[in-house]
Chain A
Amino acid sequence: MKLIKSPLEAKDIFNLIAGDKVLISGTVYTLRDSAHKLLLQLFKEGKDFPFPTQNAVIYYAAPTPPKAGHPLGSLGPTTASRMDVYVPMLLEKGIRGMIGKGKRSDEVRELLKQYKAVYFLAAGGAGAYLAQFVKDAKPVAFQELGPEAIYEVQLEGFPAIVAIDGEGRSIWDEEEEKEKENKDKI
């Protein structure tokens, strides 16, 4: 198990290999579909993003309302591939880590390699369990979007798996090779 801090440092990214189990601590920012659209608008206008993006990690998630004594309810990952089209924009802005669920496109894998960034897989369906690793959370932008606002979230020991590393290696390489071989046989 590797311990990593967010924002990420170049040496941390270099040391991460697809398949590594990690515990993430530090600040991450939640991003869902609607917030991406608003960020794209800012990007097109050449404006700054409403949160610090340099080496930042984003989490494809939206929190449920908090329970008494907790910063938020549950915080499970959502399907990352829906946001694939926005990845070039995020990487260009300096973001170097993404936490989500499900596979990414080949284009995203190439971009992660190009920008030396990492995609982490979090356990789907376990949002209430994952929320226990959240120490603090507050909305920082687009509050009109409700749960889809951008939240600044303080994590401590959040469990994830490196699905695509900074060299473009993925935990699905072997499986994809097999698929290709089977297709060739047919």
Chain B
Amino acid sequence: MRKKKKKRKIRTRFEDWLPLVGQLADKPECPNCGEEREWSVFIEKIEFCEHCFLDYLEFLILSQGLSIFDFL
């Protein structure tokens, strides 16, 4: 009998991604943009909230000639 293929788990909520990208924020305001945030990620000791992280990602893509596929 053929083994049933295991269904791939799709991460749909931020909480599912949290162990991969960062930690829940302990303070409501981001030190960078001052916006209220839900989570932070540290890259080389610099803290990025969910908004700032996207800005930084854009900077990396634009300045290093990276493609989004380099991150996958």
Interface residues of A, Cβ cutoff 8 Å to B:
64, 73-74, 76, 101-103, 121-129, 161, 163, 171-172, 174-175
Residue of A nearest to B45 (CB): A129
Interface residues of B, Cβ cutoff 8 Å to A:
31-34, 46-48, 51-59, 62-63, 65
Q: Looking at chain A's contact residues, is the secondary structure mostly helix, strand, loop, or mixed?
A: loop
Residues in A with CB closer than 8 Å to B55 are 76, 101, 124-126
A57 to B56, CA, bound (A): 22
Residues in A with CB closer than 8 Å to B57 are 125
Residues in B with CB closer than 8 Å to A73 are 34
A172 to B31, CA, bound (A): 30
Interchain CB contact under 8 A, B62 and A172: yes
Interchain CB contact under 8 A, B59 and A128: no
Cβ distance B71 to chain A, nearest Cβ, rounded Å: 15
A42 to B52, CA, bound (A): 34
Interchain CB contact under 8 A, B32 and A126: yes
Residues in B with CB closer than 8 Å to A123 are 56, 59
